[in-house]
Amino acid sequence: MREGSLLTVKNIHFRYPGNVQVLNGASFSAERGEVVAIIGSNGSGKTTLLLIAAGLLDPQNGLVLLGEKPLREQLPEARKKIGLVFQDPNDQLFNPTVYDEIAFTLRQLLSSEEEVERKVRQVAQKLKLGNLLARPPFKLSMGEKRRVTLASVLAYDPDILLLDEPTANLSVKYVEETEQVIMNAKNAGKAVVIASHDVEFVANVSDRVYIINEGSMQGGSNAKSILTDESMLKFADMRPPLVLQTLKVLRLESHDNPLTIKDLTEASNGNTHRKQRSSQTQRSKRR
């Protein structure tokens, strides 16, 4: 665990009724201005871990710290500092309109309905939900519902974002917009924790990666070291990012280990510049 982390989850053990053990000493941390990914196969305990980190479930053993103090001692006030977006938006949506859904928590925190409306319309504009504000959430597509749940959390500006499979059922366009939302949160000094099985998304946004397997955690180091390690990824039932798979099939070596197309482009441009400088140096020597 890192010193001074905004969120620290220590040695969590959890079992559901029926003695179904889900977590066995799971631990992770997230600092301000950092995106942490938790990857693992379906049923590995990712969702349960986020629910515990949000203070919605109590572990049988272990501790969740918000800053340097136990989260449990800071509730319910601390709930406004943590925003959890569920994997299935149907588990989160319950208001009659999209507007009311986004406004729900704001109305608990703000005394002015004018200020509530300003913030609702501000976040709706960011997530392109302005034309849906009067619609009932249950009539929306799954992708639209997911964007509404994200907006309902972003509206009250929590210090920590916990996002459970945030790209599921989203088109490429909205995946890119979700990535931008996460980068904006990171740049604003938020701690972002994502649970995901989307390796391309994880490669694009994460600083560090943990793997959850059989209820315990591995990794926690920088994203590149984890996502280029096929033996580690097997524990998460995942393959390396497509760029690395393609380079391997084509038998092309890259010492930079690019995880994304952007990484590959930058690496290629760097190699080109180095070759040009080397060629210029050789020509100068011949003269």
pLDDT digits (tens, 9 = 90+) for 88-146: 999 999 999 999 999 999 999 999 999 999 999 999 999 999 999 999 999 999 999 99
Q: At what angle do helices 261-286 and 242-249 cross, to 10 degrees?
A: 50
Q: Provide the domain limits for residue 287.
A: 241-287
Alpha helices for 59-141 (secondary structure H): 71-74, 98-109, 113-126
Let me know whether 89 and 166 are in one domain.
Answer: yes
Rounded Cα distance, 137 and 185, in Å? 25
Could you tell me if residue 78 is inside a domain? yes
Let me know whether 61 and 161 are in one domain.
Answer: yes
Residues forming beta bridges with residue 21, ordered by sequence position: 15
Residues forming beta bridges with residue 66, ordered by sequence position: 7, 69
Let me know whether 161 and 264 are in one domain.
Answer: no
Could you tell me if residue 137 is inside a domain? no
Per-residue model confidence (pLDDT) at position 271: 54
Let me know whether 177 and 271 are in one domain.
Answer: no
Number of domains in the chain: 2
Please give the share of the chain, as a percent, with pLDDT higher than 90.
Answer: 70
Let me know whether 28 and 73 are in one domain.
Answer: yes
Please report how many Cα atoms fall inside a 13 Å half-sphere around the Cα of residue 91, on the Cβ side. Answer: 8
Could you tell me if residue 221 is inside a domain? yes
Could you tell me if residue 112 is inside a domain? no
Rounded Cα distance, 157 and 185, in Å? 9
pLDDT digits (tens, 9 = 90+) for 68-90: 999 999 999 999 999 999 999 99
Residue 250's pLDDT band, with cuts at 50, 70 and 90, is: confident
Let me know whether 161 and 284 are in one domain.
Answer: no
Let me know whether 230 and 267 are in one domain.
Answer: no
Residue 281's pLDDT band, with cuts at 50, 70 and 90, is: low
Could you tell me if residue 150 is inside a domain? no
Residue 275's pLDDT band, with cuts at 50, 70 and 90, is: very low
Let me know whether 192 and 162 are in one domain.
Answer: yes
Per-residue model confidence (pLDDT) at position 15: 94
Residue 272's pLDDT band, with cuts at 50, 70 and 90, is: very low
Rounded Cα distance, 242 and 55, in Å? 36
Q: What is the DSSP letter of 249?
A: H
Could you tell me if residue 126 is inside a domain? no
- CATH code where residue 29 lies: 3.40.50.300
Rounded Cα distance, 181 and 203, in Å? 16
Rounded Cα distance, 40 and 85, in Å? 18
Sign of CA dihedral 152, 154, 156, 158: positive
Let me know whether 247 and 233 are in one domain.
Answer: no
Let me know whether 70 and 19 are in one domain.
Answer: yes
Could you tell me if residue 216 is inside a domain? yes
- Which tokens hold the place of 75? 């509730």
Let me know whether 56 and 161 are in one domain.
Answer: yes
Could you tell me if residue 144 is inside a domain? no
